[in-house]
Structure 1
Amino acid sequence: MNFQMNKILVAKDLSKGSSRVIRYALELGCKFHAQVHVLHVMPTVDSSVLNRVALTMGADTLAKFNALNEADLAEKTRVQLDEIIKTETELMAEDHVNPPQIEVHHGDPTSMILAVADRLDVDMIILGSHSKGKLHYAFLGSVAEKVLRKTNRTVTIVPPR
């Protein structure tokens, strides 16, 4: 059996464990000479909240405000991810690391991860686990669990320390 890995998608928030998950993806990318794509999905505000704010501000004003803030927040997130990647690359023993591609999107994390994985046709999805406890999973589920159930791609979950 000849296993090849050309593209890896690592989807991560900016929590404390982000660095560890990104380094894992970068090291795996080096071993397989694969292109790593780093994805951060910013959740959108609930529509009921947006409707209430739109009534106060006006729909046009809110739309302009959201567009400006989303773009600004996305750029700041890209900068943060770039810093994490630079730090983790410096800590690696590998001589050459392909520069990862960074994407920042707004939306439902599960849907966006699956859509980006399909668009890029990745061979593996790497996710971090928050380990929030049994009660959390019983009522809310988790992005990692939903991605596992809805994809036919290889998924690796990197547990917290």
Structure 2
Amino acid sequence: MLPQVKKILYASDIDQGSRPAFRAAVSLCGHYNSEITFLHVIEPLSASAQSIVDTMMNDESLLEMHDQSIQNLRDKLKERIERFCETELEESEMLSEGQAVARVEEGTPWKTILEVADDIDADVIVMGTRTHSGVSQFLLGSTANKVMHHTKRPVLVVPLK
């Protein structure tokens, strides 16, 4: 059992099949009456992709589109949280207003997860991991592996299909 879990960081790639990990975060939240920060990290464009975008749009249009895209994604996360609560939680499990916060950040996923965990002073990080072959795990590593190896915070990793 974890001592005093007041803040939970749930890191999601928002792909299909990530609900079991969010379910685990919500379960922890209910048990400890804590807060959840629902984090999605957007990886930066490669240099060549950024170059193509820069030649097609001016800086002002690009910044406006970027900001609108981030806001749309944040709204989508809030909607997913609400839909999850409506369809999968019983009355006694419902999250109260402000108990779940949606956050969208840009950067290298595992580094950004650790930065946000520090920023909110998370007591635990909850995330899912998909099954990969042993060779790809060895050569590339997963975001969950990197988070686990670079943090002193407890990490709950939920296997996803």
TM over 0.5: yes
Matched-pair contact (CA < 8 Å) for 1:10–1:39: yes
Q: Which runs of 5+ in 1 are unaligned?
A: none
2:120 corresponds to = 120
SS of residue in 1 equivalent to 2:16: coil
2:29 corresponds to = 29
2:4 corresponds to = 4
**Residues of 1 paired with 2:143 and 2:2: CA distance?**
30
SS of residue in 2 equivalent to 1:153: coil
Alpha-carbon distance, 1:24 to partner: 0.9
**Residues of 2 paired with 1:33 and 1:109: CA distance?**
27
**Residues of 1 paired with 2:10 and 2:2: CA distance?**
23
Matched-pair contact (CA < 8 Å) for 1:29–1:35: yes
Deviations 1:9-31 (A, max 9, x none): 11112223221111111111111
Alignment size in residue pairs: 159
Alpha-carbon distance, 1:60 to partner: 4.2
- Give the percent of matched residue pairs that are identical in Structure 1 and Structure 2: 30
**Residues of 2 paired with 1:64 and 1:47: CA distance?**
20
Closer, same or farther: CA 85–15 of 1 in aligned 2, 3 Å: farther
Alpha-carbon distance, 1:59 to partner: 4.0
Compute the TM-score of the two structures, normalised by the length of structure 2. Answer: 0.83
1:104 corresponds to = 104
Matched-pair contact (CA < 8 Å) for 1:78–1:104: no
Q: Is residue 2:52 matched to residue 1:52?
A: yes
